[in-house]
Amino acid sequence: MLRDPVQFMVDLADIGKIARVDIGSRVVYVITDFELLHRMLVENSDAYERGLLFERIRLIFGDSLIVADGRQHKDLRRLLQPAFHRSMLESYAPSIKRHADALASSWRPGQVVEVRSALVRLVITNLLGALFSHEPDTEELRLISGLIEDIGAGAIVGSVLPKRLASLPLPVNRKFLSAGRRLLEYCQELLVARRAGGERRNDLIDILLYSFGAEPRSDKFLAEQAVTILFGGIDASTAALTWALYELSQRPEVASQLRQEVSAAKELSPHSLDQLDYLNRFLNEVMRMHSPLLQTRRCVTPVELDGFTFPAGTDIGYSIAAVHRNPNIFADPNTFDPDRWSPSGSKCRSFVPFSMGNQMCIGNNYAWAALQTILHSLLSKWDFQPVATEKLPRAMGPIPVVRRLPLEVRPVSVLSSGREL
């Protein structure tokens, strides 16, 4: 599994709609069929609670949205949702574009850029600016990017380790717990500083500080909600952007068509970006090819799936990456092809990059707008070329991604007609 985790998940579909996976002393039943997954996450969601992966991250995320269940999850989601409403995207867009333009302007023709590191810093800057009204310095960016990597690796590895190993002081466990504590402290510092300053801003911190009414909440609880947003947003968005630039560097014809559309676009707003047909088809394909590897639920009552009855307490996993590579849903699933998506903008029902039901990512609208805006800025200025290197090292996290991605940046020259020189 560790050698090629995506292919491992995809191959489980050959076993059946539900495959048993033994991980040491643990048994996990993995759903490989979209209709069964829809039944679990949407039609019968009340029969399930968080599972193995969430037990692991609860060690650092406490009572946050990402690990909450039932009524608590619904209440927290309702509380935080206004910060991610589509109406808020207009206010976030200028800041996201400014930061992306600044990154693009910092590069020089022919420079070899390690883009994953650059992108994670950009994503952190955008999230802290848009949702926390905070401009991080270089040291903060270095700190947070390291913490996010240690949390992501520790969450995945720890959740599949046998229970006795998951609690031992192994390096991956120590880094995971230490990184979680430090990120909580960082978010708590932001909250305390805002409260002490007495400022009111239309952002996530205001929602956390002033939306609980008469019910007092500890700074630790509020920081846990903030950590949820930071971890979820940084890890997933960085992975998507890294894979987007990788795919463009490998496919000149796709990059050329995308740059022509970007160069012809005049107005830049969330609405106008939604009209860029090829950009959105390209992003659909990036998200299809590079999706979350493994998520888990645990049934709280006996449930029936595909003729099998699972007793309460059974761990049931699912892989969106495997669903998106299913040849019965997506023809030629291992081929990167933006043209598989309809120009009308409609999406396949089985395309669920942000999950579905009450587990759908709360920040999906923000994330999509940020991906559009960042790619628009970078592709308006640069072409990305692969650099001859050894096999790219892989980083463990919710979405498997390369640890480093060196690319050469070359300036884009465009005629007034929008055709590339």
Q: Which two tokens stand for residue 281?
A: 């088809």
Cα separation, 328 vs 325, in Å, equals 9
Look at residue 106 and tell me whether its pLDDT is greater than 90: yes
H helix or E strand, kind and range, residue 72: helix 70-80
Residue 109 class from Cβ within 10 Å (0-12 exposed, 13-18 middle, 19+ buried)? exposed
Q: What is the pLDDT of residue 344?
A: 60
CA 270 to chain centre: 19
If you average pLDDT over residues 141-166, what whole number do you get? 79
Q: What is the pLDDT of residue 421?
A: 45
Give the pLDDT confidence score for residue 416 in this predicted structure.
Answer: 37
Residue 160 has a pLDDT of 64
Alpha-carbon span 254 to 115, nearest angstrom:
19
What's the pLDDT band for 89 if we cut at 50, 70, 90? confident
Q: pLDDT category, 100, cuts 50, 70, 90?
A: very high
d(CA 18, CA 36): 9
Domain spans in the chain, listed from the N-terminal domain onward: 5-411
Look at residue 162 in the predicted model and tell me its pLDDT: 64
Q: Sorting pLDDT into bands at 50, 70 and 90, what band is 417?
A: very low
User: Comparing C-alpha atoms, which of 30, 24, 39 is closest to residue 8?
Assistant: 30
Confidence of residue 213 (pLDDT cuts 50, 70, 90): low
Tell whether the model's pLDDT for residue 86 goes beyond 90.
no
Residue 221 confidence (pLDDT): 87
pLDDT given at position 154: 80
Residues 43-78 pLDDT 10s: 999 999 987 777 778 888 888 888 888 888 888 888
Q: Is 361 annotated as a binding residue?
A: yes
The predicted-structure confidence for 253-305, as pLDDT tens digits, reads as follows 999 999 999 888 776 776 778 888 999 999 999 999 999 888 889 999 999 99
Task: Give 5-411's CATH code, choosing from 2.60.120.10, 3.30.390.50, 1.10.630.10, 1.10.10.10.
Answer: 1.10.630.10
- Residue 402 confidence (pLDDT) above 80: yes
Residue 345, pLDDT above cutoff 60: no
Helices (H), 87-198: 89-106, 115-132, 138-160, 163-166, 171-197
Residues contacting 358, CB < 8 A, separation 6+: 41, 45, 73, 74, 77
Adjacent-strand bridge partners of 402 = 394
Residue 306 DSSP class: T
Out of 174-188, 215-229, 300-314, 317-331, least confident range: 215-229
The SS3 assignment for 194 reads: helix
% of the chain residues with pLDDT over 90: 48
More confident residue, 83 or 247: 247
Unique residue bearing structure tokens 């495959």: 19
Average pLDDT score over residue span 171-185: 90
**End-to-end C-alpha distance for the chain, whole angstroms:** 45
For residue 11, pLDDT beyond 60: yes
